[in-house]
Amino acid sequence: MPKFSLKKIFINNRFIIITGILFIILIFSLIFIYIPLAKSLGELNARYNQQYGELLKVKEQIALSDKIKARIISYSEDELGALDELTKVASTLGINLDSVKPEKIISLGEDYQILPIAIESVCDFKALGSFLGALEGLEKSVVVLKQLEITRAEESLPNLKASLELGIYLRSD
């Protein structure tokens, strides 16, 4: 028959009690520390995924804007000033410019450039004549009329629909 000693029982009970306490501490740390941290980690992961999706959208928009920038022709102050002068003259004469489309600049050697412009407008005959006469007196640029097409404006019968192709001569800097 095995001998039982009080010392062994006390040590075994102490081991069982310490193991139980450690198990309870482990359960409480799991409940009060790990689970809240796991929830926070899940929330942070969801936020990260959302922001990553937004980042991808922004990258797509930047790529699209780069494509658009590649198609835009940049103009100097002289070119913009000439366009501004044309539109001001047209508005003072009562000409409605439906579209003003500058095209790619043509270089004429080292000193001069031509800025081709296509203009669609609706106006009466007198205003169109005044506008064409005013092109000669522009201060900032020399303008050449390359093509003129006049048709009847269906929407407003006394008015004309005019399509002009102009060339603005600019000095190269």
pLDDT surpassing 90 at residue 142? no
**Both tokens assigned to 90:** 């047209």
β-bridge partners, 106 = 114
pLDDT surpassing 70 at residue 48? yes
| Helices 125-134 & 77-92 angle (0-180, nearest 10) | 150
Please compute the mean of the pLDDT values over residues 9-30 and round it to a whole number. Answer: 81
Please compute the mean of the pLDDT values over residues 48-70 and round it to a whole number. Answer: 85
The CATH classification of domain 77-171, taken from the options 3.30.70.60, 3.50.50.60, 3.40.50.300, 3.30.1490.20: 3.30.70.60
Higher pLDDT, 80 or 73: 80
Which among 88, 118, 84 has a CA at the least distance from the CA of 101?
118
How does the average pLDDT of the chain come out, rounded? 82
